[in-house]
Amino acid sequence: MKQVGRRVTGLTNTQLAAGKGTFVNDVVLPDMAFLAFLRSPYAHARIRSVDISAAMARPGVIKVLTGEDAYRDLRPIPEAWNTREIGAKGVLWYPIVKDRVRYVGEVVAAVVAEDRWTAAAALDDIEVDYEELPVVTDPIKAMEPGADLVEPAWGDNLLITRDWIAGDVDAALAGADRVVTGTVRSNRITGVSIEGRGCVAQWDAFARKLTFWESTQNPHPLRSFLAETLNMSENSIHVIQPHVGGGFGLKQPPFQEEPVVAHAAMVTGRPVKWIEERAENFMATGHSRDTRFEYTVGFNADGRVHGLRIKVIADVGAPTALLGWGQSFVTGYSLPGGYDIPDTNVQLYVVVTNKCPWNAYRGFGKDAQSFVMDRIMDHVARETGLDRTAIRYANFIRPDDFPHSQPSGAILDSGNYQGALDKLLKKIDYAGFRALQAQAAAEGRRIGLGLGQELTPEGCAMPGALMISAYDGATVRVAPSGEVTILTGVTSPGCGNETAFAQIAADVLGCKLETIRVIQGDTELCPYGLGNYSSRGTMYGGSATQLAAQDLRNKLAEVAASMLEAAPADLEAADGTFFVQGSPDRSVAFNAVVNQVYRHTFGKHAEGVEPGLESTRYFRMGNIYHQPETQGRFSNYPAWPFGSSAVVVEVDPQTGMVKVLEYTLVEDAGTVINPLLVDANLHGAITQGIGSAMYENISYDENGQLQTATLMDYTIPTAIEMPMFSIEHQETPSPFTPLGMKGAGESGLGSTLGALCGAIEDAFPELDLRITDLPLTPNRVWQSLRTAPRKDGSGFGPSPSATGAARPAVAGAVEAIR
């Protein structure tokens, strides 16, 4: 049976459903000590002195590490994105700060103690003398001349600016029928994996070997980062990734905590464990998406856009070695999304502030790009009076216009955006919605429909970046008993790529799926690889698996052909049997063929093949251009999935409460290896998108104090807020991967944001309602409703008939009011 395309359940399900996974906090070593971090309580301050004497005196405290130690014994943390390569400013970031803290949560000291309680309690014993410095929290003010500086040595607060120009925007705008402007803002958010970060380090001074367990997405790159910061050889470090309780990008190294825990193990001679508390997760693991967009768009009466200028101002927090700020770059880089707007100018301003740095989070800037483009398309629809779908159809890149070049130089590989939207409209009976809306209105309910389009470039490769590249490897092994093992450097923090690898290998080898085992997340077992991010797992790990499995298949086919007295090319393999095409009774068991290779190496059938059944192969992606000098362009994303979604919401006009009633997504991430697991990922992505648009928000006060450091304040959606999802696939294969897959890990998220805004607006056809800012809190929606002018000029706010005020007071209807 062909496995690719089947809805196979995850290979780890049984273990995890039994509670028998091994997460990092489950790693317990003899004589293990515990580490806790002292973090800056100030957003910006000079450290005058650190006094650790009281902490050291506390019984049970083994060691206290400060910036002095870090600057003496450790090296700066290497950058995950090489800032110089793309003309950005960087900083030297040490694992522990010595002189100046730049955000609440930056590491100031670490305590190692016999138990967790003592380590945490001793943090209070450390006396740090801070001198508070001016705090930068507003990115707009931060760009003004004379603003206080996050990094005084920089001279300004701009990490990078870019001006991407295609065509002649001024001329296009001048020639357009109409020109409008607008400002929209996406909010500051974070990923909230239910398991936080954590690591365990063990140092064997005799073998000179560091073993490091971490809930990380990228074991091999982490090994390199650790080696560099600890000034050790890479082959002295063994990184093991236990089960990971969600990553979503935020478990990508290099963090301050990792080398500190490793160093602590080395200097104390004890295994050391650190498990992040939820509050630390909110203040130090990383934020994203906090972006303001100012746009000017020209268009003709037919809805065709002529000329677009977008200013992108991203508040990326303090500069560190984390790669998160790169999300702002990707936002600008992938504009104007899935639309063909020849005259476009994208102006990117990446602003640093005294807030937690951005770290990678699902969406990686493409979410913000999709958001602003949806808002612009809805704006144009409003101005032209045309349907929102008409504007999108009028401006989509056409299916025959691929590869398509964007202003940034990005090369979109393939796509069929019209097709996806067609499918979506059919699936939701778009035309029928108005009747439903009218019916709801008759019952006094306000429902609206919104549309979102997302363009989600995947498989990123950044020049000079060790961790971020467009290749990966896999080893496929067949044991003498015929079972198959796949080892890969691609990891799975719960996204299910291991299952996809097994499916791919089963098809290539013709073996039974249940004979395959997948091993990931161990730098000493698995071939070198870059781990999990940018939806690359199945694209690269799967393609490498395919290549390696093909090697073995070729070898086995040769042996089987000899056994069956047929030509290798005439053989097929499936479900553990090799057989001659067209005559399935001329067959030999997979295991019998394997047996020939191992036990009859010098016999008749195997004598022509190299012994052993193991192959390691690397897959190198096409459509990457890193040499602008010779290639004339810079393009770092090779695969461009697209999605089109529709959401129906109900809005309570009196409270601004929004309830998502229905969510439909048509997703095109190329060939789907496992629709079940892709759907599972899409459900999660949609939920994170809805959560971030409606319920979640990271907030700082003007002193740079984090106001949302618990799950009580940062509210992620529960089952009650979510609907069942309706998902359909369109498969426009990537021309660059052997099976045509494009990566589906982030897909589903980007289109939620604009769709929700549009749906709320759509629920009030009588209003000129403009939803511009996220999140869509009831307070904000209510405020927008109240101040929205009625189109008929009769005043402001929803027409009374819809607010419920005109309803009979004590009639039977009262119970319907909730």
Q: Which of 67, 95, 105, 196 binds another protein (CB under 8 A)?
A: 196
DSSP string of 727-783, one letter each residue = EEE-----TTSTT-B---SSTTSHHHHHHHHHHHHHT-TTB-----BSS--HHHHHH
Measured distance CA(157)–CA(358) in Å, rounded? 15
> Which region among 23-31, 144-152, 379-387, 594-602 touches another protein (by CB under 8 A)?
23-31
User: Which CB atom, from 22 or from 439, has the smaller least distance to another protein?
Assistant: 22
Neighbours of 662 (CB within 10 A): 16
**Side chain identity, residue 606:** A
582: left (phi over 0), alpha (psi -120 to 50) or beta: left
By CB under 8 A, is residue 20 in contact with another protein?
A: yes
Interface residue with another protein among 181, 235, 554, 779 (CB under 8 A) is 779
**Mind giving me the DSSP string for 57-86?**
HSTTEEEEEEHHHHHHH--PPPPSS-TGGG
Q: Does 697 bind another protein (CB under 8 A)?
A: yes
C-alpha 300/C-alpha 306 separation (Å) is 7
Q: Note whether 775 binds ligand FES by CB under 6 A.
A: no
Minimum distance of ligand FES from residue 683's CB (angstroms): 11
Whole-angstrom distance, CA of residue 400 vs CA of residue 723: 36
DSSP result, 642-677: EEEEEEEEEE-TTT--EEEEEEEEEEE-BS-S-HHH
Q: Do residues 638 and 410 make contact, with C-beta atoms less than 8 angstroms apart?
A: no
Closest approach, Cβ 283 to ligand FES, in A, equals: 18
Nearer to another protein, 287 or 306 (CB): 287
Cα gap 654→802, rounded to integer Å: 9
Residue 17 interacts with another protein (CB under 8 A): yes or no: yes
Map residues 191-210 to x or -, x wherever contact with ligand FES holds by CB under 6 A. Answer: ---x----------------
Site for another protein in 168-187 (CB under 8 A): none
798 lies in the site for another protein, by CB under 8 A: no
Q: Which helix (H) or strand (E) holds 628?
A: helix 628-631
Applying CB under 6 A, the site for ligand FES has a residue count of 3
Closer residue to another protein in complex, CB, 433/695: 695
CB of 194 to ligand FES, least distance (A): 4
What is the Cβ-side half-sphere exposure of residue 787, based on CA atoms within 13 angstroms? 8
514 binds, among another protein, ligand FES, none (CB under 5 to 8 A by kind): another protein
* H/E run at residue 33: strand 33-39
Task: Tell me, residue by residue from 510 to 539, as one string, x for binding to another protein by CB under 8 A and - for no binding.
Answer: ---xxxxxxxxxx--x--------------
**Closer of 194 and 806 to ligand FES (Cβ):** 194
* Binding residue count for another protein, defined by CB under 8 A: 108
Give the list of residues 6+ apart from residue 153 with CB closer than 8 angstroms, or none: none
For residue 243, the partner it binds in another protein, ligand FES, none, with Cβ less than 5 to 8 A by kind, is another protein
For residue 354, with 0-12 CB atoms within 10 Å meaning exposed, 13-18 middle and 19 or more buried, which class applies? Answer: buried
Based on CB atoms, which residue is closest to ligand FES, 198 or 494? Answer: 494
**How far is 144 from 139, CA to CA, in rounded Å?**
9
Report residue 238 as tokens.
């063994």
How wide is the angle at C-alpha 105 spanned by C-alphas 104 and 109, nearest 5°? 120
Residue 521 interacting with ligand FES (CB under 6 A): no
Find the binding residues for another protein in span 252-281 (CB under 8 A): 277-279
**Is residue 713 a contact residue for another protein (CB under 8 A)?**
yes
For another protein, the binding residue among 11, 166, 313, 639 (CB under 8 A) is 11
Residues 6+ positions from 750 with CB-CB distance below 8 Å: 363, 366, 367, 369, 370, 371, 452, 454, 455, 456, 643, 689
Tell me, residue by residue from 656 to 695, as one string, x for binding to another protein by CB under 8 A and - for no binding.
xx------------------xx--xx-xxxxxx------x
Contact 501, 486 (CB under 8 A): yes
Residues between 680 and 699 that touch ligand FES (CB under 6 A): none
| Tokens of residue 611, six digits | 């012994």
| Nearer residue to ligand FES within complex by CB, 496 or 743 | 496
Which one of residues 161, 236, 705, 715 is an interface residue with another protein (CB under 8 A)?
715
Matching residue, tokens 């500086």: 149
Buried b (16+ CB within 10 A) or exposed e, 772-795: ebbbbbeeebbebbeebebeeeee
Closest distance between ligand FES and the C-beta of residue 195, in Å?
8
Stretch touching another protein by CB under 8 A, among 66-74, 285-293, 486-494, 793-801: 486-494
x-marked contacts with ligand FES along 210-249 as a string, rule CB under 6 A: ------------------------------------x---
Nearer to ligand FES, 415 or 537 (CB): 537
- Judged by beta carbon distances under 5 to 8 A according to partner kind, the member of ligand FES, another protein, none in contact with residue 407 is none
Q: Which of 137, 157, 187, 193 binds another protein (CB under 8 A)?
A: 193
User: What tokens were used for 562?
Assistant: 């000899």
Which pair of tokens denotes residue 160? Answer: 């990078």
Residue 796: which of ligand FES, another protein, none does it interact with, CB under 5 to 8 A by kind? Answer: none
What, of another protein, ligand FES, none, does residue 531 touch, CB below 5 to 8 Å by kind?
Answer: none
CB atoms within 10 A of CB 202: 22
The total number of residues shown for the chain amounts to 818
Site for another protein contains 643 (CB under 8 A): no
Which residue number is nearest to ligand FES in terms of Cβ?
A: 194
Distance CA 450, CA 776 (A): 14
Give min distance, CB of 657 to another protein, in A.
Answer: 7
- Is 443 near another protein (CB under 8 A)? no
Closer Cβ to ligand FES, 243 or 306, answer by number: 243
Q: Rule CB under 6 A: say whether 17 interacts with ligand FES.
A: no
Restricted to residues 447-506, the positions that interact with ligand FES (CB under 6 A) are: 494
205 binding partner (options ligand FES, another protein, none; Cβ < 5 to 8 Å by kind):
none
Nearer to ligand FES by C-beta: 246 or 717? 246
Q: CA angle, corner 170, sides to 167 and 173, nearest 5? A: 100
Tokens found for residue 398? 């056409």
8 vs 391, beta carbon nearer another protein? 8
Nearer to another protein, 181 or 787 (CB): 787
CA distance linking residue 493 with residue 706, whole number of Å: 28
CB of 126 vs ligand FES, minimal distance in Å: 27
- Residue 572: in which H helix or E strand, if any? strand 571-574
Contacts with ligand FES by CB under 6 A lie at: 194, 246, 494
